[in-house]
Amino acid sequence: MPFLVDKNTRILIQGITGTQASFQVRRSIEYGSNIVCGVTPGKGKTEHLGVPVFDTVAEAVANTHPDASLIFVPGSSVKPAVSEALSAGIKLLVCISAGVPVNDMLEINNMLCVAKARMIGPNTPGLIVPNQTRMGIFPENIFHSGNVGIVSRSSTLTYEAVLEVNRSGKGESAVVGLGDDMVIGMNFADSLKLFHEDNDTSAIVMIGEMGGVFEEEGADWYKNYNKKKPIICYIAGDDQTFNKTIGYTNDIITHGHITLEMKKKHLRQSGIIVVDKMNQIHAALSRL
């Protein structure tokens, strides 16, 4: 089955009547995504973009039975929006919102753990399964169905990774943007596990960044997994020494002990193919 979602996944939009949500949801509907309802407090019992709008997620779930929620609310409103969705039984959330406070995300991750639910994001371009469904803001015209899964921490480099996969002639099984924030929901380890369980994925492209240890945690999971699918990884960033003035926040937290070369070494020791430039990805895929 496809990665997390497919053409039959019933999608709820939280904040559906906002300007950006309206623009992106219209594109998703045209792409074929199964958008079944939306929620905007105070605008219940109306219709927007051809789908019913409800005042609460509980009402939306009772009437339309969605499987997943796509969140387009201000960053300060994400925590109550997530809480409302989880309370209504939604198990998969994709949060496009930027500016979510770190303390809120720590609480959200705890809520997700208790509810045994997943959230992609925040500050993510979302999730797409080519020619099936689009949950987010990806430029849908660049994707082609195939067997390469892509998971990325960098929103813009995700698009370059897609173009590289297309150059290899393989296409994508699914593409997920984890989000650029310091605290996120799903991480590399979560995503790699799901891609390994996905019969439509035969290889994985992983795009990492400097700062933090998300990539190392993903590599550790991969190293200990028995039936490995090939992973090609590119890490974006400069290998500069630790500097409290110009360093990334996560580099400050790790006291500069995570450098670009250290990340690459860790990934290679785990069995991951690491490339030094983005334009080397398609050639690495072609050799598989």
The per-residue pLDDT for 2 is 65
The per-residue pLDDT for 128 is 97
The per-residue pLDDT for 243 is 47
Residue 172 host element (H or E): strand 172-177
pLDDT, tens digit (0-9, with 9 covering 90-100), for 226-237: 999 999 999 997
Tracing tokens 């019933």 back to the chain, one arrives at 10
Q: Which residues make Cβ contacts (< 8 Å) with residue 13, sequence separation at least 6?
A: 21, 25, 35, 37, 38, 39, 51, 69, 70, 72
**Average pLDDT for 48-75:** 98
133: β partners? 129
- Count CB-CB contacts under 10 A for residue 241: 8
Concatenating the DSSP letter of every residue in 79-116 gives HHHHHHHHHTT--EEEE------HHHHHHHHHHHHHHT
The torsion of the CA quartet 110, 113, 118, 122, rounded to 10 degrees, works out to 10
The band of 240, judged by pLDDT with boundaries at 50, 70 and 90, is: low
Q: For the chain, what percent of residues have pLDDT higher than 90? A: 85
Q: Which residues make Cβ contacts (< 8 Å) with residue 226, sequence separation at least 6?
A: none
Averaged pLDDT score across all residues of the chain: 92
Q: Quick one: which of 226, 231, 225 has its CA closest to 267?
A: 231
Structure tokens belonging to residue 197 = 């369980």
pLDDT at 288 over 80: yes
The band of 238, judged by pLDDT with boundaries at 50, 70 and 90, is: low
Residue 267 DSSP code? H
The per-residue pLDDT for 242 is 45
The per-residue pLDDT for 253 is 52
- CA gap 154, 44 in Å, rounded: 36
pLDDT, tens digit (0-9, with 9 covering 90-100), for 93-112: 999 999 999 999 999 999 99
Strands 172-177 and 126-129: antiparallel
Residue 58 host element (H or E): helix 57-64
- CA gap 70, 94 in Å, rounded: 5
- Full set of structural domains in the chain with CATH: 11-120 (3.40.50.720), 144-286 (3.40.50.261)
The per-residue pLDDT for 246 is 43
Lowest mean pLDDT among 23-27, 173-177, 212-216: 212-216
Concatenating the DSSP letter of every residue in 141-163 gives GG--EEEEEEEES-HHHHHHHHH
> Regarding predicted confidence, which is higher, 263 or 271?
271
pLDDT at 67 over 50: yes
Lowest mean pLDDT among 14-18, 86-90, 200-204, 249-253: 249-253
Q: For the chain, what percent of residues have pLDDT higher than 70? A: 92
Q: If you count them, how many residues does the chain have?
A: 288
- CA gap 288, 284 in Å, rounded: 7
pLDDT, tens digit (0-9, with 9 covering 90-100), for 140-158: 999 999 999 999 999 889 9
The per-residue pLDDT for 281 is 97
**Average pLDDT for 189-205:** 97
